[in-house]
Structure 1
Amino acid sequence: MAKRQMTIPVILVIALFFLWGFAHNLNPILIPHLKKACQLSDFQSAFIDSAFFIAYFAVALPAGYFMKRFGYKQGIVFGLLLFAVGAFLFFPAANTREYGFFLGALFVIASGLTFLETAANPYINALGNPETATQRLNLAQSFNGLAATLAPFIGGQFILSGKTLSAEDKVSMSATDLAAYLQSEADAVKMPYIVIGVIVLLVAILVSRTSLPEINEEMQVDDGSAGGKSLWQNSNFLFGVIALFLYVGAQVGVVSFFIRFSEQVAGVQEKAAANMLSVALLGFMLGRFVGTFLMRYVTPARMLAIFALLSVVFTLISAGVEGMFAVYAMVGVTFLMSIMFPTIFSLAIGGLGKNTKQGSSILIMAIVGGAIVPLAMGRLSDWFSMQSAYGVPAVCFAVVLLFALRNINSKVTQVAVVP
């Protein structure tokens, strides 16, 4: 396909990076918001992440089979339709104020995103000259990071009310007034998610009417480093799956509980904390550019080891001190997390040859870590404090450090996939 004909497909695929980045990063807003609206504990509110990320485990392989049968374009369209349906389901969920209904809507959204991520990650590399694949990927990364920065700010403005009732306030209110307050909190999600659903539906229509090239997946080259072993005999790949599982769990937990963490350790109000989260995720986006630049001089595995070690240190600091210093340390962790997913992915999948597609699907399934680790954090928060719960991601980053050290001599020289 000619260069000019590639422009529109590239723009559409980059738009997918933005859309799923935006959806992912509304969860940190939903966690404190639905905690109020549905009167949840920290453990119960963590099921927002569980419902979202367990879809990656359940749907990744079916998504791969769907696209093998019908092609990437149909997979993208179907994923967008699922995304839109899930967003529209927030309207009846808010009317009923049933937490399970919200979780079901999030599962549908995440199922759609699984289709999009399974398609877009290899697609952006295939759309054009292989020599400029890294440039296209960096461009896609920037829009994913932009969405991550905007989502908490926009969600904080249009969803969070800034009003949290204490136990004494609830006791002093009449049942009618309390019910009205809780319903108004639930209703706040309606319009934002309707707008999201409409936009996603329009993108689905645009994609369906655009000519997109198909990818020849049989062109994968085996560099011999896999040694002819199956995936289940490849210890580095298996370690990579574990590291990715724990990293995604740590990332989701760190970001999702950021607002609650800021409230508890430094008394930051929820709207201000949401704005701080936007700044932190801006650092996440900038960290990708800084990390990409530094990888010209430092191998990805060494860079991953350095960032993972610093993440362990910063997280332990956040779990051990009080006040704004703890919050600033956690902002630093979001910067350090920036390179971890793509680097772990690339180190784990390097040299798999014909097993690359299967390996990619399994690694995408490992994103289910985002459904498990936050639950552990929520339970620890209920038992002890939100601050103590941040010891869990410290352990996760330590495992990532061990994986990085194992790959110090890896031949992988560039990062090729982003979440």
Structure 2
Amino acid sequence: MASPINVNAAAAAPGAGDDTNYRSALTLLASLFFMWGFITVINNTLLPHLKSVFDLNYTQTTLIESVWFIAYFFASIPSAKLIERIGYQKSLVTGLLIMAAGALGMTLAASIPSYGVTLFMLFVIASGITLLQVAANPYVAVVGKAETASSRLNLVQAFNSLGTMLAPLFGAYLILGRSKGGTAQAGAVLTEAERLADAQSVILPYVLVAAVLVVLAIVIARFPLPAMGSSTSRVAKAERKQHSLWKHRNLVFGIPAIFIYLIAEIGVANLFVNFVSSPTVAGLTHEQAGRYLTFLWGGMMIGRFAGSFVMQKVSAERVLAVFSVLAFIVMMITVFASGPVAMWSLILVGLFHSIMFPTIFTLGIKGLGALTEEGSGLLIMAIAGGALVVVQGWLADTYGLQTSFLLTAVCELYILFYAVWGSKATNALPDQKPVG
């Protein structure tokens, strides 16, 4: 099992319990949430671009995103071990540098160009993001009052959504807007020379991304983050042996909830540009559709800011239940409507997806006590559910792109089940908090 970070050991560092120190740390962590959201969503404009460059079908296109999320499965436990070995702050720096190396590798993939090298470099970038995720999510959830954990993680995740909102504009302008395939009408056939030129259009964007990541790594390396010491790790480890993760209903059903939610979120985001470009929906170019993707992620940002406020008054379970019902309704409209109605209903699901990941995560670790670290690691590994977006790609190839969104609607029903029953904590243990 993964043990991402011993947040209970903060007493090892003088001043680690100081509220000001933690607020400063959370502010800096918000920049990490922003960057990994930004880079992840660049894929949404990259996928239709690569589909054109390599002449891929939907299954092959969504396989690119599957490789991205498979990294969460393989890199989660090694990330936890690395954090244990070299410490929290150095691990954040390492994760950023891994991401920067992958971004530079994307320029190599574009120069060749190579579908295989592209898959590998995206795996490298995602592995770096996994290292950041394994540390940052449980840290934000645990540092503070347990009853406001969902509110706090939704607030920080809102900055992740800010990154996801801005990324489509960046990708639409610097990738799709500078390529023949991105500005042509749907169904246009490119020559070999045009495909080669289009492939090389991703070089500049990824050079810029790599530069920002290196700068951020330097800033974090020099920032006085509260040290996550190890003075209590042996005590916590001994206490963990007395309990079982599998007696906690909220975690047992929370792991598949994260897994299934990622199928829904990533399926919508990755196929959005192709769906909106369809003549029966909006008939836009990929560049124009990429700009509308900003509204999808903007809705997620607004929903998380609003959710952070609402969950200070209303239980997280109730908010999650309402949002899952609304998400199911708009997905059914997407499947059976056409024209602008279908486009805007798909955009609207971003608002209702907004609070799902951070809320499921905090409900999943609620009452785990000394098992919080292991439970957090398993929930982060469940992000690998995004890899099953390839199933929706297969459905799109077999039954049609619009019909494939029925899979998303089914996913919303499981989230509703989790909110109503699966999230109820059983065998709750005392909440773990940093000692200061």
Q: TM-score, normalised by structure 2?
A: 0.85
User: 2 CA distance for matches of 1:131 and 1:352?
Assistant: 14
Which residue of structure 1 lines up, in the alignment, with residue 431 of structure 2? none
User: What are the equivalent positions in structure 2 for 1:183-262 lying under 5 Å apart?
Assistant: 183-215=196-228, 218=232, 229-262=243-276
2:422 counterpart of 1:402: no
2:364 counterpart of 1:348: yes
User: 2 CA distance for matches of 1:139 and 1:308?
Assistant: 19
2:179 counterpart of 1:179: no
Q: Secondary structure of the residue that 2:192 maps to in structure 1?
A: helix
Give, as a single letter, the amino acid of the residue that structure 2 aligns with 1:369: G
Shift of 1:335: 0.4
User: 2 CA distance for matches of 1:296 and 1:381?
Assistant: 40
Q: Is the 8 A contact 2:334 2:402 kept in 1?
A: yes
Describe the shift of the 1:168–1:375 C-alpha distance in structure 2 as closer, same or farther (beyond 3 A): closer
Give, as a single letter, the amino acid of the residue that structure 2 aligns with 1:256: N
2:277 counterpart of 1:263: yes
Q: Is the 8 A contact 1:86 1:109 kept in 2?
A: yes
CA deviation map 1:117-157 (0-9, x unaligned): 11222344677899998886565333212111100111111
Which residue of structure 2 lines up, in the alignment, with residue 301 of structure 1? 317
Give, as a single letter, the amino acid of the residue that structure 2 aligns with 1:387: Q
Describe the shift of the 1:24–1:101 C-alpha distance in structure 2 as closer, same or farther (beyond 3 A): same
User: 1 CA distance for matches of 2:251 and 2:414?
Assistant: 14
Q: Is the 8 A contact 1:302 1:408 kept in 2?
A: no
RMSD: 2.9
Of stretches 395-404 and 292-301 in structure 1, the one that deviates more from structure 2 is 292-301
Describe the shift of the 1:400–1:139 C-alpha distance in structure 2 as closer, same or farther (beyond 3 A): closer
Which residue of structure 2 lines up, in the alignment, with residue 174 of structure 1? none
Q: Is the 8 A contact 1:345 1:363 kept in 2?
A: yes
Q: Is the 8 A contact 1:310 1:336 kept in 2?
A: yes
User: 2 CA distance for matches of 1:379 and 1:140?
Assistant: 34
Give, as a single letter, the amino acid of the residue that structure 2 aligns with 1:180: A
Which residue of structure 1 lines up, in the alignment, with residue 8 of structure 2? none
Shift of 1:65: 1.1
Q: Is the 8 A contact 2:150 2:359 kept in 1?
A: no
Shift of 1:208: 2.0
Give, as a single letter, the amino acid of the residue that structure 2 aligns with 1:401: L
Give, as a single letter, the amino acid of the residue that structure 2 aligns with 1:251: E
User: 2 CA distance for matches of 1:18 and 1:167?
Assistant: 34
Q: Is the 8 A contact 1:312 1:397 kept in 2?
A: yes
2:180 counterpart of 1:163: no
Q: Is the 8 A contact 1:259 1:274 kept in 2?
A: yes
Shift of 1:307: 0.8
User: What are the equivalent positions in structure 2 for 1:108-147 lying under 5 Å apart?
Assistant: 108-124=124-140, 137=153, 140-147=156-163
Which residue of structure 1 lines up, in the alignment, with residue 401 of structure 2? 386
User: What are the equivalent positions in structure 2 for 1:100-111 lying under 5 Å apart?
Assistant: 100-111=116-127
Q: 1:320 aligns with which of 333, 336, 341?
A: 336
Which residue of structure 2 lines up, in the alignment, with residue 175 of structure 1? none
Which residue of structure 2 lines up, in the alignment, with residue 377 of structure 1? 392
Give, as a single letter, the amino acid of the residue that structure 1 aligns with 2:258: L
User: 2 CA distance for matches of 1:308 and 1:238?
Assistant: 19
Which residue of structure 2 lines up, in the alignment, with residue 417 of structure 1? none
Describe the shift of the 1:392–1:7 C-alpha distance in structure 2 as closer, same or farther (beyond 3 A): closer
The count of corresponding residues between Structure 1 and Structure 2 is 402
Of stretches 121-130 and 48-57 in structure 1, the one that deviates more from structure 2 is 121-130
Q: Secondary structure of the residue that 1:25 maps to in structure 2?
A: helix
CA deviation map 1:178-211 (0-9, x unaligned): 1210011111110000110011112112222333
User: 2 CA distance for matches of 1:341 and 1:142?
Assistant: 11
Give, as a single letter, the amino acid of the residue that structure 1 aligns with 2:40: H
Give, as a single letter, the amino acid of the residue that structure 1 aligns with 2:214: L
Give, as a single letter, the amino acid of the residue that structure 1 aligns with 2:401: M
Q: Secondary structure of the residue that 1:324 maps to in structure 2?
A: helix
Of stretches 206-215 and 342-351 in structure 1, the one that deviates more from structure 2 is 206-215
Q: Secondary structure of the residue that 2:354 maps to in structure 1?
A: helix
Q: TM-score, normalised by structure 1?
A: 0.88
Give, as a single letter, the amino acid of the residue that structure 1 aligns with 2:382: A
| Larger relative contact order, structure 1 or 2 (CA cutoff 8 Å, min sep 6) | 2
Describe the shift of the 1:136–1:250 C-alpha distance in structure 2 as closer, same or farther (beyond 3 A): closer
Runs of 4+ aligned residues of structure 1 deviating over 6 Å after TM superposition are 126-136, 165-168
User: 2 CA distance for matches of 1:24 and 1:121?
Assistant: 16
Of stretches 51-60 and 11-20 in structure 1, the one that deviates more from structure 2 is 11-20
Long gaps (5+) in structure 2:
1-14, 429-436
User: 2 CA distance for matches of 1:85 and 1:143?
Assistant: 24
User: 1 CA distance for matches of 2:57 and 2:138?
Assistant: 39
Q: Is the 8 A contact 2:185 2:285 kept in 1?
A: no
Long gaps (5+) in structure 1:
171-177, 413-419
Q: Secondary structure of the residue that 1:390 maps to in structure 2?
A: helix
User: 2 CA distance for matches of 1:408 and 1:143?
Assistant: 25
Which residue of structure 1 lines up, in the alignment, with residue 292 of structure 2? 276
Identity of aligned residues (%): 38
User: 2 CA distance for matches of 1:123 and 1:235?
Assistant: 22
Q: Is the 8 A contact 2:258 2:357 kept in 1?
A: yes
User: 2 CA distance for matches of 1:242 and 1:142?
Assistant: 23
Describe the shift of the 1:382–1:74 C-alpha distance in structure 2 as closer, same or farther (beyond 3 A): same
Q: Secondary structure of the residue that 2:367 maps to in structure 1?
A: coil
Describe the shift of the 1:133–1:249 C-alpha distance in structure 2 as closer, same or farther (beyond 3 A): closer
